[in-house]
Each structure stands twice: as C-alpha cells, then as structure tokens.
Structure 1
C-alpha cells in the first residue's frame, strides 16, 4: 500500500531524485520543493510567470534548469538567467547537456481546442530547434541509460512513444512503446520498463509492447500526475497525486485545485527494480 510522505500541496509535478532528495514542481504555489526521506522540506520560489505547465531538471554539471514561460538556469548565487526564450511544459536533459523540452501551443486550462504538440532541443549554446511534432499533448519524458532512446507521454493519445536519439540530438524512428494508458509524468527502471499512470486511479509498470508487470492502486478520485524512482537505492516509487473527479470537466477540476483546498500529496511505494536513465 502507498504511504504518505507529504501532503497539503497544490499540483505536484515533475519529480526528480537528486542529491539524496526528491525534488518537484509545486504548481499553483509556483514553488520548487525538495523533500527528504523523513519528510523534511526545503522550498524555493520558482522563476516562472505562469502557475501551471512547468518543469525542472539538472544539467550534467549540477546546474538546475527550469522551464515554463522560458528556459532558465540557476546561477551560482541562486538567481536565474534565461538560457533560451523558448518556453515549454516538461523537460529532460541528456548526459551531454542537451535539453529536450516539450509543449503544445494552446490554452489547455482555458478549454481551447487542442493543437498538435512538439519536442524541441536546446543545445548547450542556447540554439533551439524542433525535433518532433504532431505529439498529442506531450507530457513526461525519459532517456535510457545508454542515451540512445527517448520515450514521451502522449497524454491525449493514451500512448507512450519512443524515438531513437542521434549523435546530433535529433529524434528518429518514431514508434509506439505502449498503448491504452493515461500517461503523464513517467519514470524508467533498470530493466527497461516504465512506470506510468492509467486512465484511472492507478499506476502500472509496463514493458515495450504494453505488457503490464505490476500495478499500484490509489484511492478513488486521486489522479497520479507524475512518478519518479528514487531513494538511496532508487527502489522507492514516488507517486505525485491530487484529487481529480472523473465526472467533472478538466476546467472544473483545475479550478477546484487552484482555488480550493490543497489536496496534492507525495506517496511512496517500495519496488524491486531500481530506477535508471534520466531524469
């Protein structure tokens, strides 16, 4: 059964295990939060100009980067500088320092009609180019330990999609990794399986091809927004959730989460296979 580590959050998203703690984006409150295994927290303001739709990761040298309205990097003194004018939703950084960020150019929270999303690459010199398009609402991304494969959540398609990563950073050989899911934030383990949310209140561990190996059930009306594998041996599954009523519209749910009680929480589940890859 999942155990509660932290609650009273807005919408917790973009979890990463870094330097002995779980870090995540606390949407609505516009905070970056780090929580230790004992539940102790450190909170810093996020340098974003919108309450939702932003993410965090680290460059290979340990520099924190954030996305949102722009891509920013944290300077040694703690301030943030613009790395690229390009904004985005989720982010993942490869071992070379190539930054992959995704997004979709429509107002999801405002109920605007969906448009195809994209993945863009930001190279260390700050240059930006699109490396994939026609993504059906892009969300979480992972990169395999060998740095050769990127997998992204296509939330509106219910699909995990894989690409080969070239030496130049381009994405090729697009293919389905698994179908019939409700993917948002995802994480990869050492056997190449991915922990991902379903369309209900559960998370599953799936292989390429869609075989479900494990399942964790959550309380009804509790949506798993994102997942991470961490802990000292990376055998703790962190599940970031908040109340989400399936009978309500997306707009009603977001309005309640924004203006109502803070139902966001971080849950933990022990697993057998440790995390791998990036983030």
Structure 2
C-alpha cells in the first residue's frame, strides 16, 4: 500500500534523503524541492538558467548539481554555503550530455552521460549512442572509468565503497563494477537482468529497489530474484530509501508523455510505503545502517 506524500508535480527525479527531508529535482519547473515526512514542501532552488537535472552531496555538505540547460551541459555545478553556484568539474571533453550522479563515502563523484540526444531520439530524429561513466576525484581530476553504457540512469555505491551498480535502461539490466582504491571501475558484470531500471536505491541487505515494468517498483537481489513488487498506476522514475529509521521507500511517479515530457498535465507524485530493510550505501548517507 502506498500513500501520496506530494502531488501536482511535472516529473520528480533524483530523490535523495538528506537531513530529515526528501530532496529531488522537479523537472519542468526548474526546481530543487525538499519535502518532509508530513508533506511540507520547500523550493530550495529555482534556477531556469542551469535547469537542475540531478543532485547529490559532497562529504562536506556542499550540493552538486548536474544541469540540463544546453549552455551548462557538462559543467557539473557546486552550490557553495552562501548559495552561489560554481563549476565543480568540466565533463565536456568526455561527452556532450550528462544524466545521473552519485558521490561515494570517499568523496569520489561518478556521473553518467553520453552524446545521445534523448529528446531527438523520441522524435525519431536521432540515433542511440552508448554512454560513459566519468569519475571526479576529491582533488578535482576528471577521467572516464567506463564506456558502452546503454543509457545510464541511477547509480548506487555499496556501504563499504567497494561496488558501484548502474541502471542500464535500454539494456534492461543492472550492471556492477568493483571500485579500486583510486576510484577506477573494474570487473564489469551483470548484477540483474530482466528489469526496467531508472533511478535505483540500495538497502542494508545489498538488494536494490528498481522497476520491472513501467507500472511498478520492485526489490531485486543480485542475480535477479524479485523479493517484493509494488504496483503503481503511473510510471516510476526513481526511488529512494529514507525516513527516520530508513525504512520508508519514496517513489517518484508520473504519467510519462513523450510528446511533451516536462509539460502538460501535472501527474507527478511522491509516493511512500514502508519496507522491512532500511537503506544503506550511497546516495542516502542519511539512512541508518
């Protein structure tokens, strides 16, 4: 059973539990929103110049933002304590467009992107181009650490910082990598197949909440065993574990309209339900172990 925590959204994406609230990017409104467990929402940032696309935090508490605006594509932004935005890293030499990010417990930032024109693809005007994963180290070095990603979406890093799992949406699979001491990704392997993944979140047992179809959210173990499925009446875009005890699953859902993805009727919602195992790993450092 799910309940609606917040509705009237265009599309909510990149949910993160942080300092007692769920933060997310509100696509179509150029906002970053934070909502508490009682449904009280605050627009933390409204910026139509950069158009916030996805978010996560550095260990020192500064917010990182992947912009969607064309002029800022590839310029990973950092929000300083005074609210100003500065460029944290220039990813443009590696790819033109960027999607999701995750910061691990050592301060390494992983961002997935490609030269793929998603909206053009929906209109039949562009071909699919496999993507990459970039690493931004704590000292600011940028390098590519994976390629051939079939439309990278959400990413998680295990609590011990040893494994990164990425959702490859066009391949219908979750793919895992070992993380070396220098942040490099090695030992690429299939973590689970037969899924329809977008944004993902990991629990303390190492299982991952993702989606199987365009109308559900499911808990999957490594190898593909489905532990639990939650049926939805609209499309899931991402999920996150949080709440006071880490056992609240937040699902960003909306009725997808490919002809006008970020406009039209506001069918976006933040849904919640209780789960047995709390969140762990990264993103979601606010979740207890």
Structure 2 length-normalised TM: 0.90
Question: How is 1:82-121 mapped onto 2 (pairs within 5 angstroms)?
Answer: 82-86=87-91, 88-111=98-121, 112-121=126-135
- The 2-side partners of 1:137 and 1:257 are apart by 17
Superposition deviation, residue 63 in structure 1 = 0.9
Q: Runs of 5+ in structure 2 lacking a partner?
A: 68-72, 92-96, 284-289
Secondary structure in 2 aligned to 1:258?
A: coil
- The 1-side partners of 2:161 and 2:48 are apart by 29
- The 1-side partners of 2:150 and 2:130 are apart by 6
Counterpart residue number, 2:253: 241
- The 2-side partners of 1:257 and 1:159 are apart by 24
- The 1-side partners of 2:48 and 2:14 are apart by 14
- The 1-side partners of 2:227 and 2:46 are apart by 36
- The 2-side partners of 1:50 and 1:254 are apart by 22
Per-residue CA deviation, residues 144-173 of structure 1 (Å, 9 max, x unaligned), is 000000000000000000000000000000
Larger deviation, residues 142-151 vs 41-50: 41-50
After superposition, the Cα gap between the structure-2 partners of 1:50 and 1:183, relative to the gap in structure 1 and judged at 3 Å, is farther
* Equivalent of 1:259 in 259, 263, 283: 263
Counterpart residue number, 1:76: 81
After superposition, the Cα gap between the structure-2 partners of 1:216 and 1:102, relative to the gap in structure 1 and judged at 3 Å, is same
Question: How is 1:1-279 mapped onto 2 (pairs within 5 angstroms)?
Answer: 1-47=1-47, 49=49, 51=51, 54-68=53-67, 69=73, 70-86=75-91, 88-111=98-121, 112-219=126-233, 222-244=234-256, 253-279=257-283
Residue 257 of structure 1 contacts residue 263 of structure 1 at CA under 8 Å; is this kept in 2?
no
Per-residue CA deviation, residues 162-212 of structure 1 (Å, 9 max, x unaligned), is 000000000000000000011000000000100001123011101000000
After superposition, the Cα gap between the structure-2 partners of 1:48 and 1:184, relative to the gap in structure 1 and judged at 3 Å, is farther
Superposition deviation, residue 51 in structure 1 = 4.9
Per-residue CA deviation, residues 243-275 of structure 1 (Å, 9 max, x unaligned), is 03xxxxxxxx23334331111110001001000
Per-residue CA deviation, residues 27-74 of structure 1 (Å, 9 max, x unaligned), is 11110000000111110335575658x210000111111112221111
Equivalent pairs counted in the alignment come to 268
Secondary structure in 2 aligned to 1:204?
A: strand
Per-residue CA deviation, residues 78-102 of structure 1 (Å, 9 max, x unaligned), is 1111011226210000111111000
Per-residue CA deviation, residues 87-121 of structure 1 (Å, 9 max, x unaligned), is 62100001111110001212101222110111000
Structure 1 length-normalised TM: 0.93
